[in-house]
Structure 1
Amino acid sequence: MAKYTELAKDIIAHVGGKENINSLKHCVTRLRFDLKDESKADDDYLKQRDGVVTVVKAGGQYQVVIGNHVPDVYEEVVKVGGLAAGGSLDIDEGDGGPKGNLFDQFVALVSSIFQPMLGALSAAGMIKGVVALMAASGVPTTDGAYIVLNAVGDGFFQFLPIILAYNAANRFKMNKFTAMALAFALVYPNISASFTGDAPLYTLFAGSVIESPVYATFLGLPIIFPASSYLQTVLPIILAVFAGAKFEKFFNKVVPDVVKVFIVPFLVMMITVPLAYIVIGPLMTWASDLVGFIFQGIYNFSPVVFGIILGALWQVLVMFGLHWGLVPIAILDFATKGWSTLLVASVAICFAQAGSLLNIFLRTKEDKVKQLTIPAFISALFGVTEPAIYGITLPMRTPFVMTCIAGAIQGAFLGFFNTTGFTMGGMGLFAIPSYITPAEIPAGASTDPNNVWYFIAAIVMSFVLGFVLTQFTKIPKLYEKN
């Protein structure tokens, strides 16, 4: 039995039981309950109870003063009371451990981290669509309205790791502000300039697929910073918070209570941030490089096979951040040749998500899912699929698989016709102009005048397939009990 189990049971019983608790938080020394009925709490008993300093009622909260070891008592109260992370009532009332196969566990992890922010995520995606419309209608990028709205929409995605850190801290039972500190370090402004340049100190794995120039070290250990930076990334911060939560749990056990409130986060940050830069980040970078090398080889073998595989796996690659292995190659193509076919199979997949969302909207019986589907649908049309994937299709599982199948089919179609992009243009509907064959066709590029029509056909194909294939799936409930 844990050290504070009996105290936790006693506190829950004498605040009126679990059924009397709306939510629970803690500060430096106090458990802060939001009770349904404070009259059911036994003030006198709690004030006299060993382990409790006193009881304070203030600001609409029922505060049980514990002392410096309040984080440990809080954790035990949450565990004993069957409360969810953050202190709200736990719907499942299970053991909270991983359930199902690895894919199910991954889906549950991603859903739990993304669902709390889906409203804001969808709104940011819609604002990005508005900004794209402004640009398409001729509004200059120097216009004040454009600048402000672009900051609102794009800023959310640029600094997504910070929000993910907050939600991941809930999932992994870590101090939220310590977790956010890890994210701040990863997206610190202009830090990439310190880890890039013309003359590296030395190069790791020179001549290999994962060749890594090193421009700075941490206590002699190489810092390998991704060219794309950690802005907009998902997996690095989740892994960092996961590791940080483990360190925090260990230090909470060994650090004296009197200094725990600041020494524990100090130690966690001092260890986890360098770990993210030296181990977690490089591993993700090397994985991306390998993905780019493999897919480049597949394309050289067969554009159709390449289209099938990339179309099927693109959304999965994005979820893990591995798509960055392909993006730099495509950018290099545009810079040196003036055209590229490498990412063509990935662009129209957002419409498969849109088609699937439309089907789900028409068939679901849950009001909350309908509410989330509308903005996610609009975002998907403009190429922003995170709200759709993380909020709806991935948690439902089979609809997500169907969008991958739709992606494979449209990818094969585009590969067969050697569809070519001529600029690194917009997303979603605004990607269409990038496939219009220019008057002066770059050397080696497709000369087919129907190039843009192939791309438009792929958009229609993706949308229809997303809708039709989802029709053959069961639409499960996400928020209501079955």
Structure 2
Amino acid sequence: MGKYDSLNEFIIKNVGGDDNIIALTHCITRLRFTLKDDSLVDREALIGNDQVMTAQSSNGQYQVVVGMQVGEIYQELLPKLSISSAQEIDASTLESKEVKDNKTLLNRFIDTITKIITPTMNVMIGCSLILGVQSLLVAFKFISPGDGTFVILNSIGYALFTFFPIILGYTSSKTFGSDPFIGMIVGASLVFPNLSPDLTGSNSLYQLFSGSIFQTDIHSTFLGIPIIFPENGYTSTVIPIILSMFFISKLERVVKNYIPKSLHFTFVPFLTLLIGVPATLLVFGPIANIGSSLISSAILALFSFSPIVAALFIGSLYTPLVILGLHWPLVAIGINNLATTGSDYLLPMIFTAPLAQMAVVFAVYLRTKNPDVKKICIPAMISDFFCIIEPSIYGITLPVKKRFVFTCIGTAVGALIIAVMGVHNFASTIGVLGIGGFINPQTGNASFVLIATIASLATMAISFLLTFFTFQEA
């Protein structure tokens, strides 16, 4: 007999019974049911149970919030349902008309991204906190960059982010209904140590798209097909592996249909990887790179037209770009400015983004009565302090879209103040401790620090107040 048998029987009954359930999945604290008829749910009974925090219909699903033990409850609940484990909301279920009709394209996209990222939340927070400890130790001169302690803490803190495609290969595969170990191998192929130097280290063979924003030097080919490979490789990227695994999940099912079951064990991974990995490097990676080039060009054009318009654009869209893994062009432009001119106007405009996240999470922390949400808030705010905003995004703000919008509004306000006052920074520093990067090292002038502080306070005040006074329990 399971630990949560009585609770699970109660939940099944009050969401309309087994026959009313099309599919089931879960996130950090919620069971997410896709139901045939939401009107059969007895919400009053559900929320009257001491083990249920709340229940609500959202994004085409009926969500029953049961807390951080949701994973255990889910594992005991699934076998009690007539649906099979293959009918969790994966790619095959998402293709069914019943599920599609209940969701907008935006909601399906957000749900997919959340399901892919959410399983990494605990280790993401852990790695972020380790980087925070490292920053504090360096700031207070207990350790120095390059010594043994620094190197070990640095390797732990950045391990997840460096090899993110491997982790996302696993979670994307689970989300799309594919073999998770195939997903891990696809991700590992993207960040394989020799891949970047071997594909970009030789002399250029020729150039594609010469004279355009997509101009690319081709160093290698695959069976005569040019390999468009980014200079920095695919470490820390998000979109290439997700696009790839969506395609590979379809490919894997096609391969299974055409190969006898007796040969699945060997030939399904063989053929899926043989076709899927080259497709990733030749098609899906370049698609992400083209997206990055378009973003870079748009930003530079906006700055030429009006720094104020550019500030509103960057402030509003930076955090959504982080979700897509397409924020790196902004960072690259800023670093290039620092290298060539000694100062930069772009990075200051995204300086307040983690502070907007922190303010929204703090407002949620003060207003929520859910102890499990409070547990997420504290480490997420600490991570924000050190400019690691993913825990806040995926744990607190993105699941409730208006909170996410408030972070974008707050960041835009801060970016506008910084742009209007012509603030530059002089070092590629991040997080709250990065405020020192606004001091001019040549003159010691710290006037930009004051403006950046005012912009940060404005960002936090607006983000906090919007969230605090419109708060509703998720």
**Structure 2 unaligned blocks of 5 or more:** 1-17, 20-77
State the distance in 1 between where 2:193 and 2:154 align.
Answer: 18
1:453 aligns with 450
Between Structure 1 and Structure 2, how many residues are aligned?
Answer: 393
State the distance in 1 between where 2:335 and 2:266 align.
Answer: 45
State the distance in 2 between where 1:93 and 1:389 align.
Answer: 24
2:57 aligns with none
Per the TM alignment, residue 402 of structure 1 is displaced from its structure 2 partner at its CA by 0.5
Per the TM alignment, residue 235 of structure 1 is displaced from its structure 2 partner at its CA by 1.0
1:464 aligns with 461
Question: Within 5 A, what are the aligned runs for 1:200-215?
Answer: 200-215=204-219
2:350 aligns with 346
Cα shift readout 1:90-131 (whole Å, capped 9, x = no counterpart): xx9997844421211111111111222211111111111111
Per the TM alignment, residue 87 of structure 1 is displaced from its structure 2 partner at its CA by 7.9
State the distance in 2 between where 1:210 and 1:79 align.
Answer: 53
Structure label with greater radius of gyration: 1
Is 1:408 aligned with 2:409?
no
When structure 1 is superposed on structure 2, of 343-352 and 379-388 the one drifting more is 343-352
**Structure 1 unaligned blocks of 5 or more:** 1-17, 20-76, 442-447, 478-482
1:229 aligns with 233
Report SS of the residue matched to 1:203: strand
State the distance in 2 between where 1:191 and 1:424 align.
Answer: 27
Q: Does the 8 Å contact 1:348/1:462 carry over to 2? A: yes
Structure 2 vs 1, CA of residues 78 and 195 (structure 1 numbering), >3 Å: closer, same or farther?
farther
Q: Does the 8 Å contact 2:413/2:455 carry over to 1? A: no
When structure 1 is superposed on structure 2, of 189-198 and 202-211 the one drifting more is 189-198
State the distance in 1 between where 2:371 and 2:115 align.
Answer: 19
2:72 aligns with none
The one of the two structures with greater contact order (alpha-carbon pairs below 8 A, sep at least 6) is: 1
Give the one of 122, 125, 128 matched to 2:125: 122
Question: Within 5 A, what are the aligned runs for 1:236-247?
Answer: 236-247=240-251
Per the TM alignment, residue 449 of structure 1 is displaced from its structure 2 partner at its CA by 4.7
Per the TM alignment, residue 154 of structure 1 is displaced from its structure 2 partner at its CA by 0.9
1:81 aligns with 82
1:51 aligns with none
Is 1:432 aligned with 2:435?
yes
| Letter matched to residue 353 of structure 1 | Q
Per the TM alignment, residue 326 of structure 1 is displaced from its structure 2 partner at its CA by 2.5
Give the one of 291, 295, 300 matched to 1:296: 300
Question: Within 5 A, what are the aligned runs for 1:345-364?
Answer: 345-364=349-368
State the distance in 1 between where 2:278 and 2:367 align.
Answer: 48
Q: Does the 8 Å contact 1:292/1:325 carry over to 2? A: yes
Per the TM alignment, residue 367 of structure 1 is displaced from its structure 2 partner at its CA by 2.3
Q: Does the 8 Å contact 1:119/1:372 carry over to 2? A: no
Is 1:134 aligned with 2:137?
yes
Per the TM alignment, residue 295 of structure 1 is displaced from its structure 2 partner at its CA by 0.4
Q: Does the 8 Å contact 1:290/1:325 carry over to 2? A: no
Structure 2 vs 1, CA of residues 372 and 220 (structure 1 numbering), >3 Å: closer, same or farther?
same
State the distance in 2 between where 1:126 and 1:323 align.
Answer: 22
2:379 aligns with 375
Report SS of the residue matched to 1:395: coil
Per the TM alignment, residue 317 of structure 1 is displaced from its structure 2 partner at its CA by 1.4
| Letter matched to residue 419 of structure 2 | G
State the distance in 2 between where 1:260 and 1:240 align.
Answer: 21
Report SS of the residue matched to 1:199: coil
State the distance in 2 between where 1:104 and 1:87 align.
Answer: 17
Is 1:393 aligned with 2:394?
no
Give the one of 271, 284, 300 matched to 2:288: 284
Q: Does the 8 Å contact 2:169/2:187 carry over to 1? A: yes
Q: Does the 8 Å contact 2:364/2:471 carry over to 1? A: no
| Letter matched to residue 204 of structure 1 | L
| Identical residues among aligned pairs (%) | 34
Q: Provide the TM-score with structure 2 as the length reference.
A: 0.78
Give the one of 248, 251, 258 matched to 2:255: 251
State the distance in 1 between where 2:159 and 2:194 align.
Answer: 15
Question: Within 5 A, what are the aligned runs for 1:123-272?
Answer: 123-138=126-141, 139-197=143-201, 199-272=203-276
